[in-house]
Structure 1
Amino acid sequence: MRPIYINGRFLTQPMSGVQRYAYEIVKALDERAGAANAGQEWMLLAPPGAPAPKLRAIGFKTIGTRAGHLWDQTSFAHASRGGVALSLAMSGPLFHPRHLVILHDAAAFRRPEHFSRAYGAFHRMAERILSRTARIGTVSQFSRRELAAVLGLDAQAILVAGNGADHAGTAFDESALDRHGLRGEKFFLTLGNLTRNKNLAVAARALGRLRPGAAKLVAVGSVNAGVFGAAAPPAAAANVIFPGRLPDAEVAGLMRAATAFIFPSLYEGFGVPPLEAMANGCPVLSSNAEAMREVCGDAVDYFSPTDDARLAHLMREAVADAGAWRARRIDAGRARVKLYSWRNSARVIAEACLDLAAAAPARGPLPAKDACARS
């Protein structure tokens, strides 16, 4: 069997949903490879300076002298040429003969205004090439349909291996509550890079519709202007707090104390933060973007991402709750989050990689062994 080389460039990138996916899938693949003990070689290759993850069965090596996309196309492409390349974070070598790449969404095509011109142009070009030279995977049925439409593929040829949520809810740190004066206060929480797509402005407008002092809004995340052009978060108001990026345990501590988690995104391929909130016992108010309805089902309350009046109504309901509203939604969320597992998605990805390892170089439909909850 040919060795399987995992593209570790994600190790050098700031943590967001795509990088979270890559980290957790690699951890689950490591557990699977260690348990299988079948002689299949797995190796995680990364650019110079990448931190070494704690792995038992998957090897780790830094290679090359370059970084970024150039590292993908030169160092990683060359080192993995005799085996299977697995790229989990939206990009990889364009002309590798045995390559599985996970494209998380079709946002560069569907929402080009949310990206800098250079970023959007590069990803549209690269994804068109990859659709002809690599096997494509994605994270939801919604993204499968979107990618099939924009890339001219048969949807059934696109593998679906969804996100998980079993990493969430295992550790929490409440220090951020005291640092920002939130202990015992009503507050709503948002999480993610503060970009146009994440649509924080609608949450800020909805907060402004509540009676003065009814609640605060805590927006965890940071702006990446290099990717998202001139986008910036709304001007901070008295009741909006921007704590920046926080460790996972502090985010979990905020989720457990928040009145509700708000996810106002305009476009998502999957949307992990609502599942993380559910895992931490936090009710969720989500935009009705199609992927969010697929992922969250009937476990959350929905609003149009442009309707701050509807969101304000849901926020008032949450603030006025005496306990029953919160309890029902926590129960529904905990049931929903059990549908998603990194282990199941890693199994689907591993089987696809093993198929590539055993086969002659050829592009074709992947087995329909999806790991994605259906609502």
Structure 2
Amino acid sequence: MTGTVFINGRFLTQPMSGVQRYAQEIVTALDVLAGEAALAQRFVLLTPPGARPLDLRHIATRAVGTRGGHLWDQRDFARASRTGTALCLAASGPVLKKRQVVVIHDASVQRHPEFFGKPYVLLHTLLDQLLARRATIATVSEFSRGELADVLPLAARDIVVAPNGAEHLAIAPDAGVVERLGLTRGGYFLTLGNLTANKNLAVALRALARLTPGSAKLVAVGRLDRAVFGNAGLPEPGPDVLLPGRLDDAEVAGLMQGARALIFPSIYEGFGIPPLEAFVNGCPVLASTAPAVQEVCGPAADYFEPHDDATLAALMRMLLDDADGALRRDRLDKARDRVARYSWRNSARILADACARVAAA
């Protein structure tokens, strides 16, 4: 099966975050392209045992091996994909395989090792370097292309750019989630993420504390536990902070459509999907000046430096004072252009073409 592309499905054993979302949506888009006979090669999804299922109609799925984690990549997936080309979408792949395309989403391990444990940094620094010597590297933004070219190092022209999309959240929203959480439309700001230092929830909490008490709430969706706030160095959440935990896509869409704005305060991103998801759902964005976020959002977002809670608070007041909605309409008019630039289908096509080039070479 030399004309086959074997997709690394280990992401289906991992908790859902931006990387896993990327992998899932790219595979789903490839499945649609396969159904349209628009792919030059056959695609097969290989997974470790016990992986969660992905509803595919045209791409076969096969569980292989007995291991999990990186050992599965290096032994089981490497062996099962040896006769074809590999497509690895979640920043890992077999280091000895030449015929493969590996998506490394950013250079956060190299640029901000303080965000990770030392063993993780050592492993992924070595893994990235080994993959760069053999595989074709892809990434998700022009910013990340420049970052990876610098740290690996590689020629930027040799790195494929296949960005994220946001069509997955253009869905029927669960509008009832606003009432279930005791909220009012337009009376709250929204964040998505977890307690990692990079996601920088602290600046949003400090900005909220600068507002008049009771003037707005902050809904922080994700793997957040009030009990660990102190250990994470975060301010104690006050009565205007809601922590609903992880929500499904329809609930997130419902919250976005009712929010005054999404706050996206990340210190470092390779792309940043939530702002695009917000735009799709008619939600303005207040974003940090992380370069990749500015690349994605352009003039459609309002920006603050990642640790500048005073400026973020001023932007929050600006939107709260937007009584006639003129500011909101202006930002969302600009957002339509940003959304039109990105789609999972286009990026799946880019990666399929990269696999075809690798196979031909």
Tell me if both proteins adopt one fold, taking TM over 0.5 as the criterion: yes
Q: Quote the residue 2:333 is aligned against.
A: 331
- 2:328 & 2:111 partners in 1: Cα distance? 35
1:173 pairs with 2:181: no
Single out whichever of 303-312 and 231-240 deviates more from structure 2.
231-240
Deviation at 1:82, TM superposition (A): 1.0
Q: Quote the residue 2:213 is aligned against.
A: 212
1:15 pairs with 2:16: yes
Q: Quote the residue 2:317 is aligned against.
A: 316
The CA deviation string for residues 119-173 of structure 1, in whole angstroms up to 9 with x for no partner, is: 1111111001111121100000000000010111111110101111122222211
Q: Quote the residue 1:371 is aligned against.
A: none
Q: Quote the residue 1:362 is aligned against.
A: none
- 2:28 & 2:46 partners in 1: Cα distance? 14
1:142 pairs with 2:176: no
- 1:185 & 1:279 partners in 2: Cα distance? 17
CA contact (8 A) 1:16 1:193 kept: no
Q: Quote the residue 2:248 is aligned against.
A: 247
1:341 pairs with 2:326: no
Amino acid at match of 1:338: A
With normalisation by structure 1, the TM-score equals 0.91
Q: Quote the residue 1:76 is aligned against.
A: 77
Q: Quote the residue 1:114 is aligned against.
A: 115
Amino acid at match of 1:316: R
- 1:3 & 1:50 partners in 2: Cα distance? 21
Deviation at 1:33, TM superposition (A): 1.6
Amino acid at match of 2:160: L
Deviation at 1:40, TM superposition (A): 2.8
CA contact (8 A) 1:28 1:342 kept: yes
- 1:157 & 1:150 partners in 2: Cα distance? 14
Amino acid at match of 1:289: A
Q: Structure 1 residues 97 and 139, CA, compared in 2 at 3 Å: closer, same or farther?
A: same
Deviation at 1:18, TM superposition (A): 0.5
Q: Quote the residue 2:228 is aligned against.
A: none
- 1:297 & 1:279 partners in 2: Cα distance? 15
CA contact (8 A) 2:86 2:100 kept: yes
Deviation at 1:118, TM superposition (A): 1.5
Structure 1 alignment gaps of length 5 or more: 225-229, 360-375
Q: Structure 1 residues 144 and 185, CA, compared in 2 at 3 Å: closer, same or farther?
A: closer
The CA deviation string for residues 67-121 of structure 1, in whole angstroms up to 9 with x for no partner, is: 1111111110110011101000111111112111000000000011111112111
Amino acid at match of 2:13: T
The share of aligned pairs that are identical, in percent, is 59
Q: Structure 1 residues 170 and 38, CA, compared in 2 at 3 Å: closer, same or farther?
A: closer
Q: How does 1:155-174 map to 2 (within 5 A)?
A: 155-174=156-175
Q: Quote the residue 2:354 is aligned against.
A: 352
Q: Quote the residue 2:200 is aligned against.
A: 199
| Matched position secondary structure for 2:190 | strand
| Matched position secondary structure for 2:197 | coil
With normalisation by structure 2, the TM-score equals 0.95
Q: Structure 1 residues 185 and 161, CA, compared in 2 at 3 Å: closer, same or farther?
A: closer
- 2:254 & 2:310 partners in 1: Cα distance? 28
CA contact (8 A) 1:108 1:115 kept: yes
Q: Quote the residue 2:277 is aligned against.
A: 276
Q: Quote the residue 1:42 is aligned against.
A: 43
- 1:232 & 1:356 partners in 2: Cα distance? 46
Deviation at 1:358, TM superposition (A): 2.3
The CA deviation string for residues 301-338 of structure 1, in whole angstroms up to 9 with x for no partner, is: 01101111000000001111111111211222122111
Q: Quote the residue 1:67 is aligned against.
A: 68
| Matched position secondary structure for 1:207 | helix
Deviation at 1:223, TM superposition (A): 5.5
- 1:341 & 1:189 partners in 2: Cα distance? 24
CA contact (8 A) 1:100 1:134 kept: yes
Moved over 6 A (4+): none
Amino acid at match of 1:83: G
Deviation at 1:52, TM superposition (A): 2.2
- 1:118 & 1:179 partners in 2: Cα distance? 42
CA contact (8 A) 1:195 1:232 kept: no
CA contact (8 A) 2:40 2:356 kept: no
Amino acid at match of 1:319: L
CA contact (8 A) 2:48 2:68 kept: yes
Q: Quote the residue 1:299 is aligned against.
A: 300
The CA deviation string for residues 270-289 of structure 1, in whole angstroms up to 9 with x for no partner, is: 01100000000000000011
Single out whichever of 49-58 and 73-82 deviates more from structure 2.
49-58
Q: Structure 1 residues 26 and 38, CA, compared in 2 at 3 Å: closer, same or farther?
A: closer
